[in-house]
Amino acid sequence: MTEAAASGQQPRIHTVQVYGKLRAQGKPAFERQVAAREVSFTCQRCGTQKTEMRYPGPLPRYCPSCREARRAEAYEVRVAKQREKRRKQREAERKGTHVHLRS
């Protein structure tokens, strides 16, 4: 039995407005309701099996505790890369040469 069913909860339902050619008029072409469903996945970081209520879309890669740690790691890598890029740019400016740095 699922956790939501065991606790007697109804699945979360979200109304989505879909715009077509009428977007310029500000009116949705139609609305539909999307229900959250229970999905199971294995965390790629810690390897644990997790089950979450999710709306349709790609499966998550990380459990909630690992998700924050992974986000922090990605931030540190991105910041280190940017600092190195700026350091090279400052050194090039001191030498009087122009270095084209890729974004």
CA 5-16-10 angle, to 5 degrees, is 10
Q: Which residues pair with 50 in a beta bridge?
A: 41
| pLDDT(7) > 60 | no
pLDDT band at 2 (very low <50, low <70, confident <90, very high): very low
- Cβ(39)–Cβ(54) below 8 Å: yes
- Strand-pair partners of 16: 32
CA 82, distance to chain mean position in Å, is 21
By the 8 A CB rule, do 19 and 28 touch? Answer: yes
Reported as a single tens digit per residue, the pLDDT across 29-66 is 888 888 888 999 999 999 999 998 888 888 899 998 89
